[in-house]
Amino acid sequence: MLQHIIPATGLLFTLQNILWINIGVFIGSVFAAIPGLSVILCVILFLPVTYSMTAIPGMMFLLGIYCAGGYGGSVSAILINTPGTPHAAATMLDGHPLSEQGRTKAALKIALYASTFGGVFSALMLLFLGPQVARIAAQLGTAEYFMVCVFGLTIIAGVSGKSMIKGLISACLGLLISCVGSDPMTSYDRFTFGIPRLYLGLDLAVCLIGLFALVEIMAKAERRLDRLNLDTTQIKDDGVITKAEYKRMTRPVLISSLIGVMVGIIPGTGASEASWFSYNTAKNMSKHPEEFGHGSVEGIAAAESANNAVTGATLIPLLTLGIPGDGTVAIMLSALMINGLNPGLSLFTTQGDIMYAIMLGLILVNVFMFLQGKFLTTIFAKVVSIPQEILTPIIVIFCFAGAYSVNGNYFDVGVALIFGILSWVLRKLELPPVPILLGLVLGSMTETNFRRALLISNGSPSIFFSSVYCIIFLVLIVGAVGAIVRGKMKERKASQQKED
Amino acid sequence: MSKWVEQFNGRMDAWGRKLHEKEIRIPIDLVTGILFFLLGLGVLLVMPDQVAISEKDVVNGRAFPTMLTVVLLLCCAMLIGKELYKLATKQPLNWKVINIQVEIKALIILGILVVTYLLSKLTGLFVVGAIFCCLGFLLYFRCRKKSYYVITLVIAVAIWAAFRFALGVDF
């Protein structure tokens, strides 16, 4: 490890990288602070920008957006009682009441400190755990890799929507769309319908712009224009946090960071699950549970440290197995692969310097997130009340410019539009879009390993049950499906009882 | 001019109120199951034409999409079966309410997006589409603040300039 760290620091500490980290952190904080805009939307919009960059600045920029997104959501949650991102909902429970007690700056400060701690803790975990998991991943063959892909897809399909069957339909749709273009093994064209441009396949960034960004624009039809007039001059408190409060926050921050890491490693789970789980744990362990929901410093600290502790942990399965921990890091996989960085042990050995630079960079991202949070929070707070009339056309222009810039033609803009319409229809049919994203990202890898494994076994499917790792993943898939189905049945029963 | 705008807005509001009450209820799981079942059958039908294979291949390019389509068909069959069972046992189906006003508004937004795309493509000037997009959405939101028009147009041109001159995108 040490032989990579010294050259990695040299690669990381350049003016260009530091600049891109700061741009990413700023954009991520702004996007996450605005209710209705999500971190995933932000990463999709700015993904084409990274296509002209090398691996380290590109990843630093995207990681800046991703990590700052974890903190930015808390700004609007505290200020206007509306979470900027779904995972800031738990922060809102105590953040806004504390703000109403005249301690807005203190609430923002607690969120920032806890987010930074969670983020740095998670980055350190990635640094130490990543290479170990990669060593295990190196022992996996094509059949095992196929099982890993199926495992990732099953979990994400299971937890993404209300119905597991609908999640699986979405995942199949994503995988089928990934088949468009040339066959990865024989180069024969598939599902191109005589359109030459489709021979190269559909670009991930273009599909995602339609699936996640343009559909949000169409969804403006469902919402009323709510004015979020925030008077930032009202934030007048000195933001002092007492020694006793720091002491009270220590334990929930540590435990929540650990919970965030553990939740983040499991594919399909994310910051929302981590923050709610941590919030409840902190409440159960607190000496003052009665304060929760009324401005508890422990509540804010627990939720915020957990949702940022997820950031590094989601990268562990991504960098070692190629299985994204959540939807946002799935997009980062394409930024890695475009630079020839394929997940696995080789990434930590042959490309070790770059890999360690990215992992160390995550710590740096959190440091700059802290600094920007400390000095620019007033700007983030003002951004919360940007009117939708201005924001909507700007997002559309970004979407179209981003789609065009991928290959420099309007065909891709048309594809993005078609995916926007498809996503709208899927939304109406209550089909979750995240499994489609995973299907698109993992499609080629899943198919290549599936076919290679069958080629090795001369067409016999017994190869998928032949090794210990295959059996382990099979048991994990069955166990996960069982747990998800049981959970969904419980949820249904509970909602039926409520209705009765 | 302002009187004409007021009249137009009044008519739109009255029309919107009428449409707001119009709703369609659809058995969402049943419809999803049938739609995707048909899609799966369609994929299987076009597969021989759309996926060329070599006879020598042990595992050819049709294997993976065929497997996916079979999984898709099975999922759809389960979804349809579940809903038909509910229907037979007189249990309530999963209904979705589609509001006509929302769908028309979404179509108008889609119209703005399509015209933006066509204007950019036909003129070869992205900035023309970008300007239309700003005006289209500000009018959609019935924005009356002149400052918003100025701010949005300036930002639109700035985004185009940033992509054109800083990132070297030729449009």
- What are the tens digits of pLDDT across the range A58-87? 999 999 999 998 888 888 888 877 777 777
List CB contacts (< 8 A) between A420 and chain B.
Answer: 110, 113
Least confident of A193-197, A320-324, B85-89, B110-114: A320-324
B24: which DSSP letter? E
CA dist list (Å): A365 to A62, A166, A428: 10, 37, 38
pLDDT for res A413 = 93
Residue of A400, A425, A431 best to disrupt the B interface, most CBs of B under 10 A: A400
> Binning pLDDT at 50, 70 and 90, where does residue A327 land?
confident
> Binning pLDDT at 50, 70 and 90, where does residue A428 land?
very high
Q: Is residue B37 less than 8 Å (CB to CB) from chain A?
A: no
> Binning pLDDT at 50, 70 and 90, where does residue B90 land?
confident
Which residues, 6 or more positions from B91, have their beta carbon under 8 angstroms from its beta carbon? B85
* Whether residue A235 has pLDDT greater than 70: no
Rounded to an integer, what distance in angstroms lies between the CA atom of residue A290 and that of residue A279?
Answer: 13
Q: Is residue A395 less than 8 Å (CB to CB) from chain B?
A: no
Distance from CA of B91 to the nearest CA of A (A): 13
φ, ψ of residue A64 in degrees (nearest 5):
-60, -45
List CB contacts (< 8 A) between B79 and chain A.
Answer: 163, 165-166, 169
Q: Are A424 and B109 in contact (CB under 8 A)?
A: no
Rounded to an integer, what distance in angstroms lies between the CA atom of residue A442 and that of residue A428?
Answer: 25
The nearest alpha carbon in chain A to B161 belongs to A401
Q: Is residue B45 less than 8 Å (CB to CB) from chain A?
A: no
Give me the DSSP letters along A147-201.
HHHHHHHHHHHHHHSS-HHHHHHHHHHHHHHHTSEE-TTT--EES-TT-GGGGG-
Instruction: Please identify among residues 404-443 of chain A the ones whose CB lies closer than 8 Å to any CB of chain B.
Output: 404-405, 408, 410, 413-414, 417, 420-421, 424, 428-431
Instruction: Please identify among residues 98-137 of chain B the ones whose CB lies closer than 8 Å to any CB of chain A.
Output: 98, 102-103, 105-106, 108-110, 112-114, 116-117, 120-121, 126, 129-130, 133-134, 136-137
pLDDT for res B81 = 94
**Contact between A450 and B54 using a beta-carbon 8 Å cutoff:** no
CA dist list (Å): B128 to A493, B135, B139: 54, 11, 17
Token pair recorded at residue B90: 């007189």
| Average pLDDT of span A356-377 | 91
**Contact between B156 and A447 using a beta-carbon 8 Å cutoff:** no
Rounded to an integer, what distance in angstroms lies between the CA atom of residue A174 and that of residue A167?
Answer: 11
Tell me the pairing of strands A189-190 and B23-27: unpaired
Q: Is residue A187 less than 8 Å (CB to CB) from chain B?
A: no
Token pair recorded at residue A17: 């990288």
* Whether residue B97 has pLDDT greater than 60: yes
List CB contacts (< 8 A) between B36 and chain A.
Answer: 169, 173
pLDDT for res A268 = 62
B51: which DSSP letter? B
Instruction: Please identify among residues 8-27 of chain B the ones whose CB lies closer than 8 Å to any CB of chain A.
Output: none
Rounded to an integer, what distance in angstroms lies between the CA atom of residue A169 and that of residue B76?
Answer: 8
> Tens digit of pLDDT for each residue in B107-163?
999 999 999 999 999 998 899 999 999 999 999 988 888 899 999 999 999 988 888
Q: Please provide the average confidence, as pLDDT, over all residues in chain A.
A: 85
ipTM confidence: 0.92
Rounded to an integer, what distance in angstroms lies between the CA atom of residue B48 and that of residue A190?
Answer: 10
* Whether residue B55 has pLDDT greater than 90: no
Query: Cβ–Cβ contacts within 10 Å for residue A48, how many?
Result: 24
> How large is the angle between the packed helices A352-383 and A297-313, nearest 10 degrees?
140
Residue type, position B143, single letter: C
> Tens digit of pLDDT for each residue in A98-136?
888 888 888 989 999 999 999 999 999 988 888 888 788
**Angle, CA A272 vertex, CA A369 and CA A239 arms, to 5°:** 45
> Tens digit of pLDDT for each residue in A6-53?
888 888 899 999 999 999 999 998 888 877 677 888 888 888 888 888
Rounded to an integer, what distance in angstroms lies between the CA atom of residue A221 and that of residue B101?
Answer: 8
Least confident of A363-372, A490-499, B58-67: A490-499
pLDDT for res B1 = 67
Residue type, position A348, single letter: F
The nearest alpha carbon in chain A to B135 belongs to A393
Distance from CA of A304 to the nearest CA of B (A): 33
pLDDT for res A371 = 94
Token pair recorded at residue B45: 């039908």
Distance from CA of B75 to the nearest CA of A (A): 6
* Whether residue A264 has pLDDT greater than 90: no
Residue type, position A219, single letter: A
Spell out the long-range contacts of B4-13 with Cβ–Cβ below 8 A and sequence spacing 24 or more: B9/B142
Residue A328's nearest CA partner among A80, A161, A86 is A86
Q: Are A68 and A24 in contact (CB under 8 A)?
A: yes
Rounded to an integer, what distance in angstroms lies between the CA atom of residue A254 and that of residue A259?
Answer: 9
Token pair recorded at residue A10: 């040299």
Q: Is residue A165 less than 8 Å (CB to CB) from chain B?
A: yes
> Binning pLDDT at 50, 70 and 90, where does residue A233 land?
low
Nearest to A458 among B58, B63, B137 (CB): B58
Q: Is residue A193 less than 8 Å (CB to CB) from chain B?
A: yes
| Average pLDDT of span A199-206 | 86
List CB contacts (< 8 A) between B52 and chain A.
Answer: 188-190
pLDDT for res A231 = 55
| Average pLDDT of span A241-253 | 90
pLDDT for res A434 = 83
Which residues, 6 or more positions from A170, have their beta carbon under 8 angstroms from its beta carbon? A157, A160, A161, A426, A431, A432, A433, A434, A435, A436, A439
**Contact between A400 and B130 using a beta-carbon 8 Å cutoff:** yes
| Average pLDDT of span A160-168 | 85
pLDDT for res A346 = 72
> Binning pLDDT at 50, 70 and 90, where does residue A170 land?
very high
The nearest alpha carbon in chain B to A431 belongs to B32
Which residues, 6 or more positions from A462, have their beta carbon under 8 angstroms from its beta carbon? none
Give me the DSSP letters along A417-483.
HHHHHHHHHHHHTT--SHHHHHHHHHHHHHHHHHHHHHHHTTT-GGGGGSSHHHHHHHHHHHHHHHH
**Angle, CA B125 vertex, CA B122 and CA B126 arms, to 5°:** 105
3-state secondary structure of A388: helix
Distance from CA of B14 to the nearest CA of A (A): 17
Distance from CA of B2 to the nearest CA of A (A): 20
pLDDT cut 90: percent of chain A above it:
27
> Binning pLDDT at 50, 70 and 90, where does residue A475 land?
very high
